[in-house]
Amino acid sequence: MPDCVVLLSRYNHRIKTYMRDVNRIKKASSDTSGKLNCFNRAVDSFWPDRSALMKTSLLDVPDCQDSDTLRSSSGYEKILSFRQLATGVICIWQECWILLQTVRSKTVGHLPYIGQMTESLDKLKTDLIREIDERCYRQVVQRVLSLQSIYIHLQARRMRTFINSRQLVEILVSICCSNPFIRYTSVEDLQTVNARLKNNFLLHQRDNIDDFLLHLDQYFQPKMKDCLAKKTWLICERGWSAAAAVK
């Protein structure tokens, strides 16, 4: 094989590798930015008159365990702090709200459930603001379960708009026809429904989210501030040069 052909082949391989790394970086950067934007929008929506104060209270780790910054009297504080719990639940609420708008835009015609879900999410936000302000640990935990149920329910609604397989649509209908506020009463129930989605639908059909509940659980990280600020994806050695190129 002539040297020029060999060089051209190597060059093409390097270009393909480079572009794959660039695309990987761009997607990861978008994911990281999306998580930070979700948090900021959630706090601005919940506490428009004191959003700066609440962002500090939610993200800054207290200097000592005796700090009363967003701290409840629950014994479960040692397992999951109220600050982590509050951060996670408002981010999940925001995810649900954004997802509802996506479903609304993709739905043809007016469906009553969209108005009902909008009203229910709005009321839930009002209740959450009061419960977080009053440090109601148990009630906020229950809201997390409700919101995770709503999130999976809305994902099923969204998927119904572009999946034509009768068998798959029947699976989605069985999820969509249920009331997410009352049907799922335990994490095990949610995991069962989540597994049905994961096992029956291809990656591209699930919008490239491997596991909906795992995605939501990321909002309960103990050091959420670091999680939002740090680039957490992995790239190969060539990707470092690609990272510089896309800044």
Q: What is the pLDDT of residues 130-160, one digit of tens each?
A: 999 999 998 999 899 999 999 999 998 888 8
What's the Cα-to-Cα distance from 29 to each of 102, 137, 238, 246, rounded to whole Å?
A: 22, 33, 17, 10
Residue 165, helix vs strand vs coil: coil
If phi > 0 it is left, if psi is from -120 to 50 it is alpha, else beta; for residue 131 that is alpha
Confidence of residue 8 (pLDDT cuts 50, 70, 90): low
Place of tokens 């052909």: 5
What are the domain boundaries of the chain?
A: 3-245
Burial of 9 (0-12, 13-18, 19+ CB in 10 A): exposed
Structure confidence by residue, pLDDT tens digits, 17-62: 555 555 555 555 455 567 788 889 999 999 999 888 888 888 876 5
Nearest to 146 by CA among 179, 174, 175, 170: 179
Q: Comparing C-alpha atoms, which of 182, 174, 69, 168 is closest to residue 120?
A: 182
Q: How many helices (H) and strands (E) does the chain have?
A: 10, 0
Q: Which residue has the tokens 């108005």?
A: 115
Residue 61 CA to residue 78 CA, distance in Å, equals 14
